[in-house]
């Protein structure tokens, strides 16, 4: 419940106005030598009347002028502090969100880089395997061709070796025996040895 200020003001004014009457109506308690109780002294009642007016002025000056100035400054400070606190809280929330975003971005970038790396590695591995397979196939072909060439050359060499072996055998027999051997028997013997060597 809030009391209207006018009630207080009116009550105060009534109270202040009634004071001189109360003082004047006080019993004539005049103690000899005690100036405070010398109610016959007009200055004593006068100070109450003056005091009532001065206090009323003091109250009105405080209520209407001095105290609102202090209240305004305190209110402004409170608002400013609250505003600054709100701003600080907002800035902290923004900073937290930025850090969260940064972490998320970093995580996403790391994941993306890892995926890219994995894909590049996989592609490179596949390419290397393909190249190796191609090279292997090529080498197989070349080896096969070389082996075929070697076999052919060997066969040709063996073919050309028989007449030479026959001639050498005939010359050896003729030198050893002085008799010309039968050419057909020599060729048969060479063929037998050649078959044994080749076999």
Partner 1 sequence: MAGGSSINVLEQFELHPVLGGFGEALRFSQAPVFMIVACVIVLAFLHYGMKPAAVVPGRLQAAAEVCYEFVRNLAVDTIGPEGVAFFPFIFALFFFILAGNYLGLLPYSYTFTSHIAVTFAMAMMVFILSVIVSLKVQGFKFFAHFMPPGAPVALAPLLVPIEILSFLSRPVSLSIRLFANMVAGHVMFDIFASFVIMLAGLGFFGDVLAVGPLVINIALMGLELLVGVLQAYVFAILTCIYLREAVSH
85 touching partner 1, by CB under 8 A: no
The Cα–Cα gap between 161 and 155 comes to 10
List of residues 6+ apart from 173 with CB closer than 8 A:
179, 181, 186
Q: Which residue has the tokens 């050359």?
A: 153
88 touching partner 1, by CB under 8 A: no
| Stretch of 67-75, 99-107, 128-136, 178-186 lying at the interface with partner 1 (CB under 8 A) | 67-75
Q: φ, ψ for residue 4 (rounded to 5)?
A: -65, 140
Binds partner 1 (CB under 8 A): choice among 30, 80, 100, 185: 80
Of 50 and 147, the one with the shorter C-beta distance to partner 1 is 50
57 touching partner 1, by CB under 8 A: yes
The Cα–Cα gap between 181 and 60 comes to 164
Burial zone of 189 (CB within 10 Å; 0-12 exposed, 13-18 middle, 19+ buried):
middle
Min dist. Cβ of residue 65 to partner 1 (A): 8
Of 7 and 180, the one with the shorter C-beta distance to partner 1 is 7
* C-alpha to C-alpha distances, 30 to 24, 41, 44, 123, nearest whole angstrom: 13, 10, 12, 120
| Stretch of 66-74, 129-137, 152-160, 180-188 lying at the interface with partner 1 (CB under 8 A) | 66-74
Q: Which residues bind partner 1 (CB under 8 A)?
A: 1-5, 7-8, 11-12, 14-16, 18-19, 22-23, 26, 33-37, 39, 41-52, 54-55, 57-59, 61-63, 66-67, 69-74, 76-77, 80
């Amino acid at each position: 419940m809030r009391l209207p200020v006018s009630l207080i003001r009116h009550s105060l004014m009534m109270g202040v106005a009634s004071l001189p009457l109360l003082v004047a109506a006080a019993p004539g308690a005049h103690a000899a030598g005690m100036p405070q109780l010398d109610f016959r002294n007009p200055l004593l009642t006068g100070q109450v009347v003056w005091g009532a007016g001065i206090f009323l002025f003091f109250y009105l000056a405080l209520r209407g002028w001095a105290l609102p100035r202090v209240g305004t400054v305190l209110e402004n400070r409170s608002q400013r502090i609250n505003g600054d606190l709100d701003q600080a809280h907002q800035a902290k929330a923004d900073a937290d969100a930025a850090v969260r975003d940064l972490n998320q971005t970093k995580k996403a970038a790391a994941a993306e880089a890892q995926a890219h790396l994995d894909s590049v590695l996989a592609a490179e591995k596949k390419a290397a395997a393909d190249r190796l397979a191609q090279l292997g196939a090529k080498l197989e072909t070349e080896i096969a061709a070389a082996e075929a060439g070697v076999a052919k050359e060997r066969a040709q060499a063996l073919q050309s070796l028989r007449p030479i072996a026959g001639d050498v055998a005939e010359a050896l027999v003729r030198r050893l025996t002085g008799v010309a051997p039968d050419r057909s028997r020599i060729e048969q013997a060479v063929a037998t040895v050649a078959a044994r060597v080749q076999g």
